[in-house]
Structure 1
Amino acid sequence: MFTLASVVAIFYLFSVAFAFPVIPLKVPPGDANKILCQLPIVSRILCPLSARAALTRPTVFGTATGAEDPSGAFRFPVKYASSTRWAPSTVVTSWNLPNGFTNASSLPLACPQPDVDSSAYSEDCLSMVLYVPPSLTLVSNAPTLVWIHGGSFIIGSATGPGLDGSKLAIATNSIVAVVQYRLGALGFMAPSGKTNLAVQDLVNALQFLKKAVPAFGGSASKITLAGQSSGANMIRALLAVPSASSLFTSAILQSDPMNFGFLSPTTQSVMQNFFTGEINCSATDSACLNALSLDTILDAQSDLFGSAADLDPAAGKNQPIRPVLDGSLITSPLDSTRPFPTQTKPLLITTVSEEAAFAIYSSFPDPLPEEAFEPICDATFGEPRTSQIVSSPLYSPIPSVNGDVDARSQLQTLGTDYLWKCSGWTFARNWVGHGGKAYVGQFVVGSTYPGNEAVPFCTQPGIVCHQDDIKIVFGTVENPTPEQAALTTEIQKRYKAFLTSGNPNVPGTATWSPATSSNIPSLLLGGSGVAPVGACVPSFWGSGVQYDYQFFNE
């Protein structure tokens, strides 16, 4: 790669060879670079753009227009794909701001979702926001991190709390793209029976980025997916999409509820029939379908969400609308119910220490006697899984300092293990056992995510609830403690290394050892050492008790 120094030398040689007059550069090196960057042929390729110049970029789609983010990066909102209601999306052919906006400072409207003012969302929502560090030049060959938001596939957006990618982009010297995709029934419940529209949306987003990022100093061959909760679940779906494999090189899955396998076509069909009945339009009546109000669609979606587990227990109660193992787009379950395919991509797989705490302590705001543990387990797991759980010393009562037992503590540990931690370890074992590489970690320092403060347990010192890792990663914690600031610095350094090399180890930090098919050294992020194994062994979760994806899909 050319450097400023080599360009100086070449320019000097050309000047001598062609008898151009040369004026010796008797200026300090830093000022010499500034002078050199005034040369048009040099500045366009090797020099960071000024703020004013950086707000427009020529791309293969046309001129991109952006704005300066308050945190320092250049921000480019863009519509990446188009679609009509319940039809597959297609990649755009020209660069346009989202939602017909003309001001590049405007951020995209969210996709339609419940409990949000209708002025904040639009069906025309297939947009993303690019955050570009000012330091990048056209030959930076920088990596891109594509963030896929969570929200149980029914809520969330690219502009959710803490998702300003500016600080993360600058710290990792990468382009950060925060992406939206169709949610809920509009993304997964097309009356025609066409499944996984939302998954295809993200395939299109990656196709768009592969063409677009070189104009911002990015490499088309260094794209990493990252996401949290259902966003990580969506990444797991993309890992099972053969046509998407060439579009990204690595992935970061944060708090993926891996106990939820992909929906089977049979379960999807049952849910689809219920939803179509709720909207009272036949699958072929396009006039009726297009005339439906978003309120009607969202109401029917809510009815489906609440009824799904009764329609088919395999759907579950917490995330029933999700990707479908359709056999055409998604071709493998990537779990232990079928032979695991050969893998090559490196993964980071992380959870937080109290993943299930928000759900448990919000459902049961008052302490529970030990006698409540078994019936609550039975309502969730049924027999014979409950008897195996309650008879195991791994989930024995945990007395408090005054000797009292609160069954919520057991339920929290149990929920964290089966839904997130242990199922993630099983996935990692399968991944590395079939050729891939995986680094597994657990956040033991976090920052209370908006909404989690409603559960007092989640605000206690040392407690890290679901979503509390997001602001740490993005560097958007307000007034961080020394521990939070230190972990943000560390995790951003590790992500920078992973984006470039597929390895999160950097000098000055603890060694993060990769998982093997038999050993999961889960690094404590914000602590020291590795997480205890506990129940996360194949002979208990995944075999003796079984995850839901095994129990319902035998």
Structure 2
Amino acid sequence: MRSTQPESHHEVKVNKLEPFPSRLDMDTSDDGDELSRGTLENTPLSSLGPGSGQGQGVHQLDQGQSAFEDQYDIDSSQTRIEPVLHSVSSSVSTAFRCIEKHLYSGLRHTLGRADRRSLDTIRSDYIPLQSESDNIHKYPYEYPSRLTAYLRQTFTKSLFLMASLFALFLTLFALIHWTTAKSIWDTTSDTGSPCTVSALGFSAKGLSTADGACRYTVRYGTAERWGESNFAWDNAKNQSFTDLPPACPQQAGTYVSANSQSEDCLFATIYAPQSINLFSRLPVLVWIHGGSYTAGSASAPGLGGSKLAVKGNMIVIVLQYRLGVLGFLPPSSAPSWSNPNLGLRDVILALKGISKGIDFVGGEKDKVTIGGQSSGAGLIRALLGVSEAKGLFRAAILQSDPMSYGNSPNAITSKVRDIYYSLDPLKSCNDLQCLRAVSYASIVSAQEQLSNTAPLLVEGLPLSMAIRPTFGNPTLPTDPTVSLFTDPSSLPSSGIPLLLTTVRNEAGSAVSEIFPNPVPISADTYFAALAATINANRAQQLASSKASEYALPNATGYGEGGDVFRETYERAATDGIWKCPNWDVASQWSRMGGDVWVGEWTEGVTYPSNKDHQYCKTHSRVCHEDDIYPTFGTAPDTSSAKSSLEEDVLSYWSNFITNLDPSPSPAKRSIRHKSFRDWLEWFWPFKRDSPASLLPPRASPESDWTAYKSPDDVFTIGGGEVGICPEGFWGEKVKYDWQIYGQ
């Protein structure tokens, strides 16, 4: 610490600290008359500050490495992070000594006594940052900024000194940028691949995509069956980073084939621009796939993140998590039975890993947005109520979340568990060891039986969602939707910006499954279909409703247009399960002070699961999952109309992920990289314009979104009009599932 005794000439001596040694060939004279020449041998720069006058102690770098390893769960015996950071720190120190010493000495000679002390204080506050492994990238930004702010006040006429300072620190930044980027994010290799990186103790060679991105598949966790997942630092090194991962066990179909599955499935597929480096500081989208909690994978159709990563200048990460019984319904003999949300905990683990490591590969942990579709969006809604997830993301995108369905209470989950484990071959097992020996193919086969029978036996179980997250446990204490309306301050992630969207014909896929062809108008058939969807009590309320939107016409046959029955049924299910609960949640979120934007897809691209659904392929309908292709810009249809839709959506989503507004005004745009004008502004402030090449495409003024306050603020993605939610109907006359079963 700096001495507080009366001024006198003395020689400062500091013991050598490891593991980041550096020397500064200079001595200070506290009387401030002039700078004497001397030597401080083996003195780390951190020992020169912070000053005691600000109540701060000397940085202890010998403890810094241990703290770093503890924070990031890195075992130095298993990784190479220590020598990498040691090399980086030494290089930074060398560049700093050669420039800063002479600059500091020259400035000090020109100052009076009081000004010298102010300069010393600033210097001692910021020099330690260059030696801290976790803050290397901050040094060239923070020290010069504060020093030059001081110079503006003290040397208004010293233009020569300020110009010299500017030139010297440009040189310093270039040296540090080249050294750290080369050491931590090495974008070259022996083969010249632009997708070979070295970070966090291991090297990974990814796949170069046609869109100009790099794709890496990384194992983030491991877990035994029905056990807690853990970080996979060791196993992450022993894998192929170019292959897409095996899917978690599920029924083969649209999302995955039968021969590409494994219980070792906790992988993240990462897409990043090839130009990325340590200083890119890019925003991050973490995508959680849908599939009714029983299906889906990072390799499902349309989930390639290359175009979104390049066009939006961001990192896109697609997560896999345990599904179905293996992810959400452990047996009562498993330790996890009382905290059954294993798939949800997988996502939390991945988010923690991203928060710990993304800064080392060019991302920024404070700019993580989570996004998901269908049950993936449902998992995000659950995450809003998880204390352990607080701070791991700053915004969320929920697409086609069936928000009427809350999470499952323990009573319903227990009934579903009893049904499942009474099926063959599970019922023959009396202990956990036996259950763990059952093949995952048999687990999935029994799960299909459960999905077909349980909704008919258990009240409150959605027709298409027999398995889902459970609340009333340590991970998820309450249903987050219930908490939003009854005790919003208890939500750990309340108030973050949200982007909520639904498609125009959400229920079209389900209606087409039940009624593959048009059916005659029939009140009895209508009631039976509604009862299977939302239970008999609410079906009666809906069928007898005076709301014209959901009333069957008093007619026979197929009605005007030839498909009135299916259209009416689909409209009731779309509004009651998806659209109207989303709007109600948006209204409440806004009332509680959170920013939220709401959109409806009036145009989409037919998803493979809908290609055989005649209902979804006529009259320009947009059914569930038809928003996936345009979200990622991966539509197989390359027509100009679809390309225009993709460009618009990529712009909206990139704007939201980057600026927390799907169509921000120019004043809200932020600069994501330090440019020549940024450095110049330290000396001569001026209004900054964002470099066009670094920003997502700008939406036209007439297509700007409006933060949601009322249904008038719903944005149409694809143009056209949006239908209404009858006032006082959904959530009041006809209750949502979460209102009935979520208490």
**TM-score w.r.t. structure 2 length?**
0.66
Are residues 455 and 383 of structure 1, via their aligned partners in 2, closer, same or farther at CA, if it must alter by over 3 Å? closer
Query: Is 1:396–2:580 an aligned residue pair?
Result: no
Query: Is 1:512–2:705 an aligned residue pair?
Result: yes
- Name the % identity: 34
Query: Is 1:381–2:527 an aligned residue pair?
Result: no
Aligned to 1:169: 309
Find the aligned partners of 2:706 and 2:615 in 1 and give their Cα distance: 32
Aligned to 1:492: 650
Aligned to 1:6: none
Aligned to 2:729: 540
Higher radius of gyration, 1 or 2 = 2
Aligned to 1:420: 578
Query: Is 1:248–2:393 an aligned residue pair?
Result: yes
Per the TM alignment, residue 78 of structure 1 is displaced from its structure 2 partner at its CA by: 0.5
Per the TM alignment, residue 40 of structure 1 is displaced from its structure 2 partner at its CA by: 4.7
Within 5 Å, give how 1:201-240 maps onto structure 2.
Answer: 201-240=346-385
**Residue 495 of structure 2 aligns to a residue in which SS?**
coil
**Residue 246 of structure 1 aligns to a residue in which SS?**
coil
**In the alignment, which of 411, 434, 459 is matched to residue 313 of structure 1?**
459
Find the aligned partners of 2:205 and 2:473 in 1 and give their Cα distance: 40
**Residue 349 of structure 1 aligns to a residue in which SS?**
strand
Structure of higher RCO (CA pairs closer than 8 Å, 6+ residues apart) = 1
**Residue 75 of structure 1 aligns to a residue in which SS?**
strand
Question: What amino acid is the match of 1:373?
Answer: Y
**Residue 236 of structure 2 aligns to a residue in which SS?**
coil
Aligned to 2:520: 369
Aligned to 2:499: 348
Find the aligned partners of 2:203 and 2:561 in 1 and give their Cα distance: 67
Alpha carbons 1:340, 1:434 under 8 Å: kept: no
Superposed CA deviations along residues 107-148 of structure 1, whole A, max 9, x for unmatched, are 110001113654210000000110011232211111110111
Query: Is 1:549–2:704 an aligned residue pair?
Result: no
Question: What amino acid is the match of 2:450?
Answer: L
**Residue 597 of structure 2 aligns to a residue in which SS?**
strand
Find the aligned partners of 1:42 and 1:243 in 2 and give their Cα distance: 32
Question: What amino acid is the match of 2:279?
Answer: V
Are residues 37 and 366 of structure 1, via their aligned partners in 2, closer, same or farther at CA, if it must alter by over 3 Å? farther
Query: Is 1:303–2:458 an aligned residue pair?
Result: no
Superposed CA deviations along residues 327-356 of structure 1, whole A, max 9, x for unmatched, are 311133122476142322000000111111
Are residues 39 and 513 of structure 1, via their aligned partners in 2, closer, same or farther at CA, if it must alter by over 3 Å? closer
**Residue 314 of structure 1 aligns to a residue in which SS?**
coil
Alpha carbons 1:46, 1:139 under 8 Å: kept: no
**In the alignment, which of 267, 270, 289 is matched to residue 435 of structure 2?**
289
Find the aligned partners of 2:176 and 2:487 in 1 and give their Cα distance: 55
Superposed CA deviations along residues 451-507 of structure 1, whole A, max 9, x for unmatched, are 211012222252111111101010001233322212211211121221122111144
Find the aligned partners of 1:39 and 1:423 in 2 and give their Cα distance: 49
Are residues 339 and 46 of structure 1, via their aligned partners in 2, closer, same or farther at CA, if it must alter by over 3 Å? same
The structure where helix makes up a greater share of residues is 2
Aligned to 2:718: 526
Superposed CA deviations along residues 209-229 of structure 1, whole A, max 9, x for unmatched, are 112222221001111111111
Superposed CA deviations along residues 388-416 of structure 1, whole A, max 9, x for unmatched, are 32322221347989565620010111111
- Please identify, of 541-550 and 116-125, the stretch whose mean Cα deviation from structure 2 is larger: 116-125
Question: What amino acid is the match of 2:251?
Answer: P
Question: What amino acid is the match of 2:498?
Answer: L
Within 5 Å, give how 1:433-452 maps onto structure 2.
Answer: 433-452=591-610
Query: Is 1:482–2:640 an aligned residue pair?
Result: yes
Alpha carbons 1:73, 1:170 under 8 Å: kept: yes
Are residues 403 and 110 of structure 1, via their aligned partners in 2, closer, same or farther at CA, if it must alter by over 3 Å? closer
Aligned to 1:145: 285
Per the TM alignment, residue 553 of structure 1 is displaced from its structure 2 partner at its CA by: 4.2
Query: Is 1:408–2:566 an aligned residue pair?
Result: yes
Per the TM alignment, residue 104 of structure 1 is displaced from its structure 2 partner at its CA by: 2.9
Aligned to 1:333: 479
Alpha carbons 1:152, 1:318 under 8 Å: kept: yes
Per the TM alignment, residue 519 of structure 1 is displaced from its structure 2 partner at its CA by: 4.6
Aligned to 1:113: 250
Aligned to 1:159: 299
Find the aligned partners of 1:532 and 1:280 in 2 and give their Cα distance: 47
Find the aligned partners of 1:45 and 1:438 in 2 and give their Cα distance: 41
Find the aligned partners of 1:318 and 1:379 in 2 and give their Cα distance: 10
Superposed CA deviations along residues 176-209 of structure 1, whole A, max 9, x for unmatched, are 0011000100001111214100000000010111
**Residue 233 of structure 2 aligns to a residue in which SS?**
coil
Aligned to 1:31: none
Are residues 118 and 540 of structure 1, via their aligned partners in 2, closer, same or farther at CA, if it must alter by over 3 Å? same
Superposed CA deviations along residues 32-82 of structure 1, whole A, max 9, x for unmatched, are xxxx89995386389994683543323225333322123321111110011
Per the TM alignment, residue 386 of structure 1 is displaced from its structure 2 partner at its CA by: 2.7
Alpha carbons 1:223, 1:249 under 8 Å: kept: yes
- Please identify, of 196-205 and 300-309, the stretch whose mean Cα deviation from structure 2 is larger: 300-309
Find the aligned partners of 2:625 and 2:561 in 1 and give their Cα distance: 31
Aligned to 2:236: 96
Alpha carbons 2:213, 2:273 under 8 Å: kept: yes
Find the aligned partners of 1:465 and 1:340 in 2 and give their Cα distance: 34
**In the alignment, which of 407, 414, 419 is matched to residue 269 of structure 1?**
414
Find the aligned partners of 2:354 and 2:561 in 1 and give their Cα distance: 57
Alpha carbons 2:472, 2:478 under 8 Å: kept: no
Per the TM alignment, residue 237 of structure 1 is displaced from its structure 2 partner at its CA by: 1.0
Find the aligned partners of 1:81 and 1:47 in 2 and give their Cα distance: 23
Q: How much is the aligned-residue C-alpha RMSD, in angstroms?
A: 3.0
Find the aligned partners of 2:531 and 2:736 in 1 and give their Cα distance: 14
Find the aligned partners of 1:90 and 1:465 in 2 and give their Cα distance: 37
Superposed CA deviations along residues 154-196 of structure 1, whole A, max 9, x for unmatched, are 1110001111110111011000001100010000111121410
Are residues 171 and 435 of structure 1, via their aligned partners in 2, closer, same or farther at CA, if it must alter by over 3 Å? same
**In the alignment, which of 55, 64, 79 is matched to residue 195 of structure 2?**
55
Aligned to 1:82: 222
- Please identify, of 326-335 and 192-201, the stretch whose mean Cα deviation from structure 2 is larger: 326-335
Find the aligned partners of 2:418 and 2:587 in 1 and give their Cα distance: 37
Within 5 Å, give how 1:191-210 maps onto structure 2.
Answer: 191=331, 192=334, 193=337, 194-210=339-355
- Please identify, of 54-63 and 245-254, the stretch whose mean Cα deviation from structure 2 is larger: 54-63
**Residue 403 of structure 2 aligns to a residue in which SS?**
coil
Aligned to 1:456: 614
Are residues 336 and 45 of structure 1, via their aligned partners in 2, closer, same or farther at CA, if it must alter by over 3 Å? same
**In the alignment, which of 41, 50, 54 is matched to residue 179 of structure 2?**
41
Are residues 318 and 383 of structure 1, via their aligned partners in 2, closer, same or farther at CA, if it must alter by over 3 Å? closer
Find the aligned partners of 1:249 and 1:463 in 2 and give their Cα distance: 33
Are residues 387 and 483 of structure 1, via their aligned partners in 2, closer, same or farther at CA, if it must alter by over 3 Å? same
Question: What amino acid is the match of 2:715?
Answer: L
Alpha carbons 2:408, 2:742 under 8 Å: kept: no
Are residues 196 and 39 of structure 1, via their aligned partners in 2, closer, same or farther at CA, if it must alter by over 3 Å? closer
Number of aligned residue pairs: give it: 522
